[in-house]
Amino acid sequence: MLTIATLGPKDTFSDIATKQYIQAIQNKKPVQQAQIQYYGTLAQTFEAVGKECQLGVLPIENLSEGYVQVVLDQLLNTKLFVISELLLPIQFSFVGFCDELTQLTDLYVQFVAHGQCSEFINALEGVKVHNSQSNMESLILAEEKGESAGAIIPQHALSQVQNATIINNDVTNYANNQTRFLVISETPLDRVAGKEYKTTLVVNNKQDCPGVLGNIVSAFALQKVNLTSIMSRPTRSQIGNYHFFIDIDGHQEDSNIAIALSEIQATYDVTVIGSYIKAVN
């Protein structure tokens, strides 16, 4: 039995992404049984992988909000591997439990969803906004609070809402909103021939010195490796020091990538977190 950790409770976007991943692997190998285990925060979900669960599915990047910092930070020192990525369309609804929007006093919204619905939220006056850990937790908290409360919830969860008096079907800033999810695992997957790959690596910038990023970027450029994103996160040892997350097109076993990597690794502390099949948009 394959166990997969994800952000709960049931029906979060993470849950939908996990079910899509299970469907995809079952289409390839129908016998595989999978069980989803839900966790209350993204950090708890990550920490369960390799312990209580074999795999984890976590959001990493949103169309408008960029990278999910808490997940990037977990990836910094991980011994786990990224084995897959998925893209999910993301749309939010608002549900209110008061008669009119002017009676709303408390709004619950997940901390990454907040920015994705900022136009709707910023237009609300005199409302206390509470950031929750997951979009389904927002609904539970609003239902508990009762009459003067509301929640931003996944559009797909609207049918489960019992006593809402105000419903706004779409409160998402962008119609083409999307979030990218990573599947992480204790063990890397074998390469599949004929597929387009992507590789994620972390540069642990323990001793900052001039030219770290420049040298890394030029090693890839010399080997004609396409960099698709670079993200920095503070090392937390000294202000101004950053680790770098780099995504490149291709598999770490491609000869040009292997040459660039061995050159970079001779000088810098670089960990490849995984090569995985590129998600198609």
113 makes contact with ligand PRE (CB under 6 A): yes
Q: Which is nearer to ligand PRE, 90 or 98 (CB)?
A: 90
| Peptide bond preceding 9 in cis form (omega within 30 of 0) | yes
Is-contact 86 20, C-beta < 8 A? yes
Single out the residue of 8, 59, 96, 250 in contact with ligand PRE (rule: CB under 6 A).
Answer: 59
62 makes contact with ligand PRE (CB under 6 A): yes
135 makes contact with ligand PRE (CB under 6 A): yes
142 makes contact with ligand PRE (CB under 6 A): no
Q: Which is nearer to ligand PRE, 70 or 124 (CB)?
A: 70
Single out the residue of 134, 199, 223, 252 in contact with ligand PRE (rule: CB under 6 A).
Answer: 134
Q: Tell me phi and psi for residue 199, to 5 degrees.
A: -130, 135
Binding span for ligand PRE by CB under 6 A among 9-17, 49-57, 212-220, 273-281: 9-17
Is-contact 173 118, C-beta < 8 A? yes
Binding span for ligand PRE by CB under 6 A among 107-115, 182-190, 225-233, 234-242: 107-115
What residue type is 69 in one-letter code? Q
Sequence-distant (6+) residues with CB within 8 A of 150 are 94, 95, 96, 97, 98, 104, 106, 107, 108, 142, 166
Give the residues across from 249 on adjacent strands: 198
Q: How far is the CB of 94 from ligand PRE (least distance, A)?
A: 15
275 makes contact with ligand PRE (CB under 6 A): no
Cα–Cα dist 261/270, whole Å: 8
Q: Which is nearer to ligand PRE, 173 or 271 (CB)?
A: 173
Is-contact 16 23, C-beta < 8 A? no
Q: How far is the CB of 11 from ligand PRE (least distance, A)?
A: 8
Return the structure tokens found at 43: 């950090």
Cα–Cα dist 140/159, whole Å: 14
185 makes contact with ligand PRE (CB under 6 A): no
Q: How far is the CB of 268 from ligand PRE (least distance, A)?
A: 30
CA atoms within 13 A on the CB side of 154: 22
Query: How far are the Cα atoms of 159, 198, 223 from residue 189, in angstroms, in the given order?
Result: 38, 13, 25
Cα–Cα dist 164/62, whole Å: 28
12 makes contact with ligand PRE (CB under 6 A): yes
Binding span for ligand PRE by CB under 6 A among 12-20, 44-52, 117-125, 160-168: 12-20
Q: Which is nearer to ligand PRE, 71 or 98 (CB)?
A: 71
Q: Interface residues with ligand PRE (CB under 6 A)?
A: 7, 12-14, 59, 62, 68, 90, 110, 112-113, 134-135, 154, 179
